[in-house]
Amino acid sequence: MDAIQLFNQTTFECSKLITQRYSTSFTLGIKTLDTKFHLPIYAIYGFVRYADEIVDTFHDKDKKSLLSLFKADTYKAIEDKISLNPVLHAFQLVVNQYNIDKSLIEAFLTSMEMDLDFKTYNDSRYHEYIYGSAEVVGLMCLKVFCEGDQAMYERLKDPACKLGAAFQKVNFLRDIKSDYEERGRVYFPGVDYNEFNLDAKTLIEKDIQNDFDDALEGIKGLPDGAKLGVKVAYLYYLKLFKKIKSLAPEVITHERIRIPNARKISLLLGTYFGSKLGLS
């Protein structure tokens, strides 16, 4: 391994570590992908995770300036094809290798900027945020999975967006308490956190279920090396969604709902062996 290869490999390993530290479920899902997809997907996660940390964590810093600098550094890394920031270097390698559209990156960063300025969302802002914060991340991953097959990418774009939207909306329900109490945010349009009731919850859940249903057909069309990993993520979020659906509105406004790590591992193994035996 020459010096450049070592540098590249090390930056990917940094993004892998970030993924492992921040998301057990995402890490488990990646492990079921074909190994050729592991590092590129880690790189995408590392990038979106660090951008998200800027707006959600560094409360005693100038978040707007930090995000602006991160955005400028991102585009410079992509243009120069190098960065001394390991997260951005790994990300630019993936962007340039798989021809990830700059519009996807711009939409994502715009959604991060929205988190700095918006506390309540109307319909148009809500859909814009869902697209930028979740759907485009799914499209970045889809670019990797399709490996240059543009026809496949175009065919699977809509289901990939639906999957990303379902995941994000489940996150919103799961985190409705912390988003409101810690950040003052209410993402669902027309929802008053202090009067969140069964009718509002049921309407949101119906919308999420439609996204899950539409996404499933797309998963079936993914390449074999990607299908199992995405299916694991789908089933994990579906399990979390069903758990949230079974709870009263006042429960999810008072506690964060989780799937225990042991259950995540069980789900992973069940999906893996079921697939190998032709059972799923």
- Determine the 3-state secondary structure of 149 from DSSP: coil
186: β partners: 120
What is the distance in angstroms between the CA of the first residue and the CA of the last residue of the chain? 40
Residue 194 predicted with pLDDT over 90: no
Per-residue confidence band for 279, with pLDDT thresholds at 50, 70 and 90: very low
pLDDT digits (tens, 9 = 90+) for 113-137: 998 887 677 778 899 999 999 999 9
Q: Are 204 and 188 in contact (CB under 8 A)?
A: yes
CA-to-CA distance for 234 and 72, rounded, in angstroms?
Answer: 33
Q: What is the CA radius of gyration of the chain?
A: 19
CA-to-CA distance for 47 and 77, rounded, in angstroms?
Answer: 12
The CATH number assigned to the domain holding 264 equals 1.10.600.10
Picking from 167-171, 253-257, 264-268, which range would have the lowest pLDDT averaged per residue?
A: 264-268
Tell me how crowded residue 148 is: count the other CB atoms within 10 A of its CB: 10
Picking from 15-29, 167-181, 234-248, 252-266, which range would have the lowest pLDDT averaged per residue?
A: 252-266
Q: Supply the mean pLDDT for the chain.
A: 89
pLDDT digits (tens, 9 = 90+) for 43-54: 999 999 999 999
CA-to-CA distance for 117 and 188, rounded, in angstroms?
Answer: 16
176-214 per-residue burial string, b: 16 or more CB within 10 A, e: under 16: bbebbeeeebbbbeebebeebeeeebeebbeebeebbeb
Which residue segment(s) compose the domain that 124 sits in?
Answer: 3-276
Residue 157 predicted with pLDDT over 80: yes
CA-to-CA distance for 11 and 90, rounded, in angstroms?
Answer: 5
Predicted local distance difference test score (pLDDT) of residue 277: 45
User: Residue 189 carries which DSSP code?
Assistant: T
CA-to-CA distance for 214 and 189, rounded, in angstroms?
Answer: 22
Counted domains in the chain = 1
Predicted local distance difference test score (pLDDT) of residue 149: 96
Higher pLDDT, 181 or 3: 3
Kindly report whether the global pTM for this prediction surpasses the value 0.95: no
CA-to-CA distance for 141 and 143, rounded, in angstroms?
Answer: 5
Predicted local distance difference test score (pLDDT) of residue 274: 55
CA-to-CA distance for 27 and 19, rounded, in angstroms?
Answer: 6
Q: Which of 24-28, 109-113, 252-256, 270-274 has the highest mean pLDDT?
A: 109-113
CA-to-CA distance for 140 and 229, rounded, in angstroms?
Answer: 15
